[in-house]
Structures are given as structure tokens and as C-alpha cells.
Amino acid sequence: MIKTMLVDKQSGEIRCGDEGLLAGWADNESIWIWVDFDREKPVREAELFSTHFSLDPLVIADAQTERHPPKLEGFEDYFFLLLHGLDATTKDIEFGTIQIALFVGERFLVTRRHALSVSTDKAWTEAEQGTLKVVRGPAHVAYRIIRLVTERYTNIVVGLERRLDELEDEMFENPRDAILEELVGYSANLKKLRRIFTYHQDMFARLSRRDNPFVDQHGRHEFNDVFEHTERLASLSALFKELADDLMNGYTKAKSSIAAPIDLFFITPPLLHPTARATTPGPPGEKSGLVLTVANPRTTLATFSLFGLSLTMEYPISLKNRPIPRPTLEIVSTYLGF
């Protein structure tokens, strides 16, 4: 679908329609145009991009690529901005993204997306209702779209802080594996967000500089504001990821410290310290042996060698061949008197 909006540069009055309004707009110096390409066929898009706006074929290809990193590129008559916005279904940290392409010139704004864009549609509605000051030109409308994209990210990042606090309490009050699974998901998604914000903050910082002829002084302040906002989001994402990782580590340590049932070790040959607690015949097939009772080991154990001794865990459910952690080695050494 193609939507078109003609804007009077003096009065701000608008006229909306379809691609039919593209004809002849460039000859009327008193207007500027906003064209929104929403899930249009790529071949048709490329034709209109080239015919009416003389866009570079390479950036057209970038805009139409399904997965492309965010980027900012300047040309003589316009600049090209490729954003990663949240998709329409995203409500929390389990997010998906879409690519939003913006071509911003002195008298035109071309927006392009391959899926529903909540931010672009909201900016269009604001322009129709008169709450968006389209008279300020294409760069200001582009800023508004960027601002709306950033606000949606803000909602899901800031909203995560409270949930992490809740998980920290639940970890001690009602520890369960579902907490660990949730934290793993948060850590992975926060890493993805941090990467997106790093790209975005670099682009917005560049737009706030004086060397962009399509952004006026007031526009530079606006882009600097959204840069600072994105910089804060990047910082929060890194902080919350670190917190999620710390909670995962804390949960793992807390769970491993829970006392396990007493386990039995069969030890051969019977060259044990006299203080070993009890002796009994060894496992079937062994000539002799000794059963050593070890209280509260941290995990299930398997065969290992210690000072020439071969030790093997007897599992109640016949599980074998698991590694022995250092704390248990220390316990065994204590029992053996080393």
C-alpha cells in the first residue's frame, strides 16, 4: 500500500491520497511530500523510488533487504536512515523487530517498511489530526517517527527493572527452574537490545551535528535529545543484563548448596586411613573393599582417582560417570585423613 501526503510549506495544510499525488509534486515549490510505502512489492517500490526521488540503487537495495544492520548514509539531495523498530506484536522484553527505512530530503520524506509499523502509523495519524507540526518539514517528521520508535523501546526496558526485583525475591522464597529459564531469556534479549541501541545512538549523534544540511538548529537539538535517550537505554540494557547474569549465578550457587541425600562410595584397594568410619564387603566382583559414608555432597559423583585410590559413587538409580566437584574431593580427603 502507498499513502501520500502533500504539505503546504507555509500554512501546514495537508492533502492525503495515494500514489496518484506523486505526479507533478516536484514542480510545486510551495509544498513538500511524504510518501509511505507499507508492504508494497519491491519491484514497484524500486521503480517509484528511482523515478520520483532519484534514490541511489544501492540504498534502495539496503532498504529492501530483510536483515540489514541499522545505518545512516548521506547524499547530496537527501540522507538515508535505516532503523530497527519493534514489531506490532511486541509488548515486553520478548520482542521482535522490523526494518524502517527513511529517505529525508529538503522537500520529501519517503518511509518504507515490510510489516506493520506502529510508530510510522502513529506519526501519520498525528499529522492528519494536526498534532504533528508537519509545517516544520520532512526532518521534523522523521524525528517524530524516531522518537516514537525509541519510546516503545523505553517501555519494555524500564518495565523490566521491577520484574528483575521480583525474581530476586522469588529466587530465595520459592526457588524453581522456571526462574532460571526466565533469566536466561532476559539476558539474551538484553544483549540484542544493547546491540540495536549501540547502532541507533551512533546514528542519532551524527544527526545532531552541524554538518547535516537537511536538519536545522532546532532539529539538531531534537536529534541530540533522542541520542541521549538512546544512550540511556543502552546503559540500562547493559546494567539489567549484568543483573540478570548475577541472579542466574546466584540461583545456581544457591541450588547447588542445598543438602543432598547421603551417598555411598566404594573404595578399592582397601589402603585407607585407620579413621575411616566403617568397612563392609566391596561391590560384587571385588575381593575386598570399604564403604565410606559422605554427608551432604553437592552433586552426584562418579569414579575418580585420589592419592592412588579409586573411588566410585553408588547411585540409587544406577546413574554413573558424572564428574566430582572440588568441594566433594575435600570432603573425601577429610574422611580419609589426608
Q: Write down which residue in 254, 278, 305 finishes a domain.
A: 254
Spatial CA neighbour of 68 closest among 80, 79, 53, 55: 80
The Cβ-side half-sphere exposure at 119, using a 13 Å CA radius, reads 28
Q: Are 229 and 302 part of one and the same domain? A: no
pLDDT at 258 over 80: no
Q: Write down which residue in 212, 231, 254 finishes a domain.
A: 254
Q: How far apart are CA 78 and CA 109, in angstroms?
A: 9
- pTM as predicted: 0.75
Q: Write down which residue in 254, 288, 319 finishes a domain.
A: 254
Choose between 101 and 11: higher pLDDT: 101
- Phi, psi angles (nearest 5°) of residue 38: -115, 100
* Mean pLDDT, residues 233-259: 84
- Number of domains into which the chain is organized: 2
pLDDT in tens, 200-245: 999 999 999 888 899 999 999 999 999 999 999 999 999 999 999 9
CA distances from 244 to 166, 186, 198 (A): 12, 7, 20
pLDDT at 257: 58
Q: Are 208 and 305 part of one and the same domain? A: no
Q: Are 287 and 330 part of one and the same domain? A: yes
Q: Are 205 and 152 part of one and the same domain? A: yes
pLDDT in tens, 165-179: 999 888 878 888 899
pLDDT at 304 over 60: no
pLDDT in tens, 24-75: 898 899 999 999 999 999 999 999 999 999 999 999 999 999 889 999 999 9
CB 164 within 8 Å of CB 186:
yes
**Residue 262 burial by Cβ neighbours in a 10 Å radius (0-12, 13-18, 19+):** exposed
pLDDT at 289: 37
Hey, how many other C-beta atoms are within 10 angstroms of the C-beta on 267? 22
pLDDT at 315: 37
Residue type, 140: H
pLDDT at 251: 80
3-state secondary structure of 167: helix
Hey, how many other C-beta atoms are within 10 angstroms of the C-beta on 310? 12
Q: Are 239 and 320 part of one and the same domain? A: no
Query: Which residue has cell 530483510?
Result: 66
* Mean pLDDT, residues 134-141: 96
pLDDT at 123 over 70: yes
pLDDT at 269 over 60: no
Window from 37-46, 114-123, 223-232, 272-281 with minimum mean pLDDT: 272-281
Q: Which residues contact 68 (CB under 8 A, 6 or more apart)?
A: 62, 82, 99
CA distances from 211 to 79, 208, 277 (A): 12, 9, 82
- Cell numbers at residue 206, please? 551524527
Identify whether 269 is preceded by a cis peptide bond (ω within 30 of 0). yes
Query: Which residue has cell 564387603?
Result: 281
pLDDT at 12: 87
pLDDT at 320: 39
pLDDT band at 325 (very low <50, low <70, confident <90, very high): very low
Residue type, 63: A
Q: Are 144 and 200 part of one and the same domain? A: yes
Q: Are 105 and 172 part of one and the same domain? A: yes
Q: Which residues contact 218 (CB under 8 A, 6 or more apart)?
A: 136
Find the domain containing 273 and state its range: 263-336
134: CATH: 3.30.460.20
